Amino acid sequence: MTESVKIRKAEKYAISQRALSDETRNFFMQNFGCSRKVYNLYVDWLYKKLEETGYTGGERIYGLKLPEITEFKKEFEYLKDADSLGLANAKISFENALKHYNENCDHRSYTKGALRRDRAGTEKLTFRGLVGMPGFHSKAHGDFSYTTNCQYPTKTGKLKQPTIRLEQNRLYLPKLKDGVELIIHRPLPKDARIGNVTVSMDFAGQIYASVEYECEDEVNTDLKRAVLEEDRDVLDHIRILGLDYSQGGFYIDSEGRKANYPHFYRESEAKQAREQRKLSRMRKDSSNYKKQLLRVQKTGEKIRNQRKDFINKEALALSREYDAVAVEDLDLRDLSGHLRLGKNLHDNGFGMFRNRLEQKLRDKGSVLVKIDKFYPSTKTCHCCGYHNADIVLGVAKWICPACGAELNRDENAAINIRNEGKRIFADYYKGILAKEEQAYLRAEQRSEFRHRKRN
């Protein structure tokens, strides 16, 4: 059974370099800089407030009334030339960063960089080094992006057409009347309603436009209906796959298959090191230095594109073949700090793969089931359920003392993850639906509040 529902999607298009004029490129660079400036002004304002109150950490930051962007425009006149919605989104990004610090951080732990500088005696530990504290955005580190929203005509408004339009292969943005040519690889649906556009630039100078839109799509609702009605005939026969993270093979599934990730970074590591050595021997900011820097950046960009391509194809294949997928809710940030595991984990991008797979399953009408990271999937025999506490990290195979089954460590873990995912599937899906309902109600309340404020 299918149902027509409104879903949000995004398409990322490259902006044609051939048709990009110097004036348009300068327009984008101006908006990148102004958005970064507004964000950094809010960070600077926050730091001054915290210094005035003597904040040293250990508690949340509440009760601060942020200044309006108009106050910054009085001091920095050039901000008036930028897209006002881009500046407003920079403020929202800062508010989200502060919210993340308040809700997801312990307000006591310091970053590794802050601890390292403290040991070296170059900088003492302050609230600026706390994990999650909003920090300055750096031009040198490649922070080139801004987001603008689409405004639609209303009965009482002066707008005659949407402020963001995609006509043929040309994208029109606020304050960019002539538009810009896109390289369209997948056109938007005819009923697509554009919400916002994020314009970004990579290290190689290529500019992209990520278009977020809302459209009607047919979604299979059989699983959702079965979960809400507790239909055991359907829930007991869903096809669910378990995935166990593997350093060498990306993952091993509950059917014994490996993903065989190609390790793109390690394949290009020697070439990248060679290009970086050439760069280190050149005079900085010279003509040859800039050319060689572009080669180094393009090498990294190719690795990222190869990784994204593999992840997208793998996630799409699994979402088409199975009704649901179960994985462990691993703390990948913690694992990436391990000296022996960090490089390989950053290479394979397993966290990006989980996010992409979750999105594909959601579009299909299903969910990615995340198992508690403390669930003993490795130490439990999937045949009889015996828990073997003697299994350590280096053990690849073991024999169950209870039933005598010969078990492969990773395959056994994947099967246990699948069984646990199938057991909690209904409750997990109900929790996801409840969160979506709460988010929808909050969005409706915000929309109603804005409507009352305008009137």
Tens of pLDDT along the chain (455 residues)?
667 777 888 999 999 988 899 999 999 999 999 999 999 999 999 999 999 999 988 899 988 899 999 999 999 999 999 999 999 999 999 999 999 999 989 999 999 899 999 999 999 999 999 999 999 998 888 789 999 999 988 877 778 889 999 998 999 999 998 899 999 988 998 889 999 999 999 877 889 999 999 988 877 788 888 888 888 888 888 899 999 988 777 899 999 898 888 888 888 889 999 999 999 999 988 999 989 988 998 888 889 889 999 999 999 999 999 999 999 988 777 776 665 667 777 788 888 999 999 999 988 888 999 999 889 888 899 999 888 888 887 788 888 988 888 888 889 999 999 999 999 999 999 999 898 888 888 878 887 877 776 66
| Cβ partners under 8 Å of residue 141, min gap 6 | none
Report the distance separating Cα 377 and Cα 414, nearest Å: 7
- What is the pLDDT at residue 445? 85
Any idea what DSSP says for residue 130? B
Q: Are 405 and 381 in contact (CB under 8 A)?
A: yes
As a whole number of angstroms, the distance between CA 110 and CA 108 comes to 7
CA–CA dist 406, 385 (Å, integer):
14
CA-closest candidate to residue 310, choices 345, 261, 344: 261
- Domains of the chain, by residue range, sit at 2-219, 238-454
Q: How far apart are the first and last CA of the chain?
A: 42
Tokens standing for residue 117:
């500088």
CB atoms within 10 A of CB 434: 10
The strand pairing partners of 170, in sequence order, are 167, 181
To 10 degrees, the CA torsion angle through 356, 362, 365, 366?
80
What is the value of pTM for the model shown? 0.80
Residue in 256, 138, 150, 131 with CA at minimum distance from that of residue 196? 150
CA gap 49, 333 in Å, rounded? 30
State the amino acid at position 65 in one-letter form: K
Task: Give the whole-angstrom CA distance, residue 85 versus residue 92.
Answer: 10
Contact 29, 237 (CB under 8 A): no
